Amino acid sequence: MLLDRLTAFRQRREASAELPVRIGHMAPRNSRMLEYDQNLLWVTLLLLAYGLVMVYSATIAFPDDPRYAQWSHFHFFGRDLLSIGAALLAGWIVVQIPMSVVQKWAPVLFLLSLVGITLVLIPHIGKGVNGSRRWIALPGGLNFQPSELVKLTALLYAANFMVRKQDVKQSLVKTFLPMMSVMMLVGVLLLAEPDMGAFLVIASITLAILFLGGANGKLFSVFSVAVIGAFVLMIVLSPWRRDRIFAYLNPWSEANALGSAYQLSHALIAMGRGEWFGVGLGGSIEKLHYLPEAHTDFLLAIIGEELGLVGVGAVIVAFYWLVRRAFEIGRQALAMDRMFSALVAQGLGVWIGGQAFINIGVNLGLLPTKGLTLPLMSYGGSALLLNCMAIAVLLRVDFENRILMRGGHV
């Protein structure tokens, strides 16, 4: 009888040892997959799949236009699918890289990305589209947009900078002036393309990193006012940007609806047609060559028209969850005195959340029209590539948090 009891106890103990050990959502040592944040991974994959379906819907009528007559109805779908595959492969590679290595190479990566946004300004290297030179032509008809890379490398550089400047982060000369000089250089290069949207995102990321890194409040306020003043000055001195602002304030006047507010007015028409549940997947009228850039900057308008408020709400909830999770991972890293990882995680939340906020605001007519894609969803290989790499870095930070909480080493 005693032997039977001991045998039963040993079996129960062995069975319990195989159950997941949950300390801050940690996984067992013998399960490599559960060491990653599966919820974060699934939300990312769902956004990619959601975007793929809507890109196909938004571009299915493109071959009816003589400009795209040589392409099949599946052309953009196939290219978007390949971009997602390449982005997931790049993300898988990035997630293998320790954050200590990322921190070490952050300044070099940032310098290389600056070379990239300089190359696009050189004739026969940079490719111009619609009056902007933002792309580098690659073999196979592919294009790469270096400004997307700068968003990630600028974030890594700013986080590395704040960690290195911990002892002098209250100093104007040693902290704020160097960072402001670097951002001015980035701004000059991006505005020469021009790409004010990318510069807006990068400036927001930098300000967020300075704030989260504990920079001096007064100096931070001065820096923020200087950045905002620079954007206001750019709008005042640029007639076409100024026209966009006035058009945004009154998109329904005849001159604006057929001119500067053409995209905005048709995006609002699409949103209005969708109402609560949409006209049905594939039933959009605005994608039939009425709404320009329906598969990139204004993909959300097509979602609103075909899937209604419910479809748009699902996108907003997904990005809210993603940003909140990024800040939670950052707080976990900070609690373990991993300053660089904490700043990177929260900076990624600012990047993804901020860009999504601007894109959603533009599509809903709450913000002036700006050429920014919806992260993880809009058509665009460079954006998808860097978005997935950013999520991979976030997964890596969380992975190292879990290992350290279990007493391991990274």
Q: How confident is the model over 44-91, as pLDDT tens digits?
A: 999 999 999 999 999 998 888 777 778 888 889 999 999 999 999 999
* Residue 402: per-residue pLDDT: 92
> Looking at this protein, which amino acid is placed at residue 72?
S
Q: What is the mean pLDDT of residues 281-287?
A: 92
Worst-scoring range by mean pLDDT, 63-72, 156-165, 181-190? 63-72
Q: Say if residue 12's pLDDT is above 70.
A: no
Name the band, by pLDDT with cuts 50, 70 and 90, for residue 167: low
Tokens of 10: 């040993």
pLDDT of 8 above 60: no
Check if the beta carbon of residue 179 is closer than 8 Å to that of residue 154. Answer: no
**What pLDDT does residue 29 have?**
43
- 357/353 Cα distance (integer angstroms): 6
For 189, the token pair is 């290069």
pLDDT band, very low/low/confident/very high, at 143 (cuts 50, 70, 90): confident
Q: Do 145 and 83 meet the contact criterion of CB atoms below 8 Å apart? A: no
Q: Quote the pTM value.
A: 0.87
Asked whether the beta carbons of 113 and 153 are under 8 A apart, the reply is yes
Work out the percent of the chain whose per-residue pLDDT is above 70: 88
pLDDT score recorded for residue 165: 77
Whole-number pLDDT of residue 169: 61
Q: Nearest Cα to 372, choosing from 364, 381, 360? A: 360
Cβ atoms of 161 and 205 within 8 Å: the answer is no
Predicted local distance difference test score (pLDDT) of residue 10: 46
Distance CA(250)–CA(232), nearest Å, equals 19
Token pair recorded at residue 194: 């021009």
**Cβ neighbours around 139 below 10 Å, total:** 5
Nearest 5°: phi and psi at 370? Answer: -145, 140
- Residue 23's pLDDT is 34
Distance CA 365, CA 279 (A): 20
pLDDT for 151 equals 95
Q: What is the per-residue pLDDT for 131?
A: 65
Which helix (DSSP H) or strand (DSSP E) does residue 146 occupy? helix 146-164
> Where do the DSSP E strands lie in 97-150?
126-129, 132-138, 142-144
The winner for highest mean pLDDT among 131-140, 158-167, 219-228, 252-261 is 158-167
Query: Tens digit of pLDDT for each residue in 227-271?
Result: 788 778 877 777 777 777 777 777 777 767 777 788 889 999 999
Average pLDDT taken over every residue of the chain: 84
Look-up of token digits 């997630």: 95
Helical H runs in 95-133?
99-119
pLDDT at 1: 42
Which class for 375: exposed (0-12), middle (13-18), buried (19 or more C-beta within 10 A)?
A: buried
pLDDT digits (tens, 9 = 90+) for 285-320: 999 989 988 999 999 999 999 999 999 999 999 999
Whether the predicted pLDDT of 6 surpasses 60? no
- 128 strand-pairing partners: 133
Residue with tokens 């976990």: 332
Q: Where are the domains of the chain?
A: 46-94+253-410, 99-237
Question: Between the CA of residue 233 and those of 106, 193, 333, what are the distances in Å?
Answer: 31, 18, 38
**Coil, strand or helix at 127:** strand
pLDDT at 16: 41
How far apart CA 159 and CA 338 sit, in angstroms, is: 11
pLDDT at 105 over 90: yes
- Whether the predicted pLDDT of 18 surpasses 60: no
